[in-house]
Chain A
Amino acid sequence: MADENIALMAHLLRRSGFGASRDEIEAKAAQGYQQTLDDLLNPESQPIIEEDLVYRYNPSYWQSAAIENNVQAWLYTMINTPRQLQEKMSLFWHMIFCAGHSKIDSGYEMGRMVAMFREHGMGNFRDLIYRLSTSPGMMYYLDNTESHQVAVNENYGRELLELFSLGAGKDEEFNYSEDDVKACARAFTGWNNAPAYPPFPYGRSPWEFRFDPADHDDGEKTFLGETGPWNGDDILDIICKQPATARFLARHLYNYFVADDAQIPAWRLTPPQNLNLIQEMEKAYFDSGYDITEMLRVLFNSDTFKSEEVRYAKVKSPAEVVAGTLRLVEEHREIKLGLFQHSQEPKYMGMDLMNPPTVEGWHTGREWIDSGTLVERINYASDLLGNTELPGVKGLINRLMSRGDSLSPETFVDGCLDLIGPITVDDGTRSELVAHAQKAGDLRHGSSSEQSDFTRRTGEMFQMIASTAEFQFE
Chain B
Amino acid sequence: MVSTQKDPVLAILSLSGGNDGLNTIIPRSNGLYRDFRPSLSISEDQIIPINDDLGFHPAMGPLKKFWDEGKLAIFLGMGYPNSSYSHFRSMDIWHTCEPDTQGSEGWLGRVIKDLDPHSENVLTGVNFGRGLPRALAKDGVPVASVGDLETYGLLTGIEGDSQRSEALDVFGRMYSPAIGRGAVMDYIRNTGTDALKGADILATAPQKYSSSVEYSNSAVGQYMKNIAQTHLAGFGTRVLYTTSPYNSFDTHANQAALHSGLWTDVSNTVENFMTDLREHQASDNVLLFMFTEFGRRITDNGSGTDHGSAGIAFAVGEGVKGGIYGEYPSLDVNEQEEGGNLKYNQDFRSVYTSILEDWMGLDAKPIVGGSFEKTKFL
Q: Enumerate chain A interface residues (CB-CB to B < 8 A).
A: 100-103, 105, 200-201, 260, 315, 344, 347-348, 350, 352, 355, 357-360, 363, 365-367, 369-376, 378-379, 382-383, 386-387, 426, 428-429, 432-433, 435-436, 439, 460, 463-464, 467-470, 472
Contact = CB atoms under 8 A, between A and B. Distances in A.
A315 B173 CA distance: 21
B86 A469 contact: no
Q: How large is the interface on B (under 10, 10 to 19, 20 to 34, 35 or more residues)?
A: 35 or more
B82 interface: no
A72 B183 CA distance: 35
Given A348-B130, A358-B103, A375-B195, A105 B88 contact: yes
A426 B176 CA distance: 12
Given A374-B188, A375-B154, A436-B166, A344 B92 contact: no
B35 interface: no
Given A369-B187, A468-B174, A469-B192, A460 B158 contact: yes
B135 to A, nearest CB: 13
B93 to A, nearest CB: 10
A374 B189 contact: no
B198 interface: yes
Given A201-B307, A357-B104, A372-B132, A102 B89 contact: yes
Contacts of B263: none
B197 to A, nearest CB: 9
Contacts of A378: 154-155, 192
B154 A469 contact: no
B173 A432 contact: yes
B29 interface: no
Contacts of A355: 88
Interface of B: 85-89, 92, 102-104, 122, 127, 130-132, 134, 137, 139, 142-145, 153-158, 163, 166-167, 170-171, 173-175, 178-181, 183-185, 187-189, 191-192, 194-195, 198-199, 306-307
8 contacts: A201-B85, A344-B131, A366-B188, A375-B195, A375-B199, A379-B157, A386-B157, A386-B158
Contacts of B179: 426, 428
Of all A-B residue pairs in the complex, the 9 with the closest CB atoms, nearest first, are A102-B88, A383-B157, A372-B145, A371-B195, A357-B104, A348-B131, A105-B86, A371-B142, A469-B188
A467 B85 CA distance: 41
B86 A103 contact: yes
B170 A436 contact: yes
A472 to B, nearest CB: 6
A200 B199 CA distance: 44
A245 B154 CA distance: 44
Contacts of B175: 469
Contacts of A435: 170
B154 A371 contact: no
A347 B187 CA distance: 22
B106 to A, nearest CB: 10
A19 B89 CA distance: 34
Among B131, B170, B180: residue with most chain A CB under 10 A: B131
Given A105-B88, A371-B198, A365 B134 contact: no
B132 A357 contact: no
B181 A426 contact: yes
B155 A382 contact: yes
Contacts of A360: 104
Contacts of A348: 130-131, 145
Binding site secondary structure of chain A: helix
B191 A371 contact: yes
Contacts of B132: 350, 372-373
B125 to A, nearest CB: 10
B189 A469 contact: yes
Contacts of B194: 371
Given A432-B173, A464-B167, A365 B145 contact: no
B80 to A, nearest CB: 15
A426 B155 CA distance: 20
Contacts of A464: 155, 167, 170-171
Contacts of A467: 154-155, 167, 171, 174
Given A379-B156, A460-B158, A463-B157, A200 B170 contact: no
Contact of A344 (B130, B156, B183, B185): B130
Contacts of A350: 131-132
A365 B198 CA distance: 23
Nearest to B167: A464
Contact of A366 (B142, B144, B156, B184): B184
Contacts of B143: 370-372
Nearest to A424: B181
A432 B187 contact: no
B188 to A, nearest CB: 4
A429 B174 contact: yes
A407 to B, nearest CB: 19
A102 B92 contact: yes
Among A352, A375, A378: residue with most chain B CB under 10 A: A375
Nearest to A351: B131
B154 A379 contact: yes
A379 B168 CA distance: 12
A69 to B, nearest CB: 14
Contacts of B153: 375
Contacts of A367: 139
Contact of A369 (B158, B166, B181, B188): B188
Nearest to B176: A428
Nearest to A465: B174
Among B188, B189, B198, B307: residue with most chain A CB under 10 A: B188
A38 B199 CA distance: 47
Given A432-B173, A464-B171, A103 B191 contact: no
Contact of A347 (B131, B156, B166): B131
A185 B315 CA distance: 46
A389 to B, nearest CB: 13
Among A432, A439, A469: residue with most chain B CB under 10 A: A469
Given A379-B156, A382-B157, A370 B174 contact: no
Nearest to B197: A371
A378 B199 CA distance: 13
A101 B92 CA distance: 12
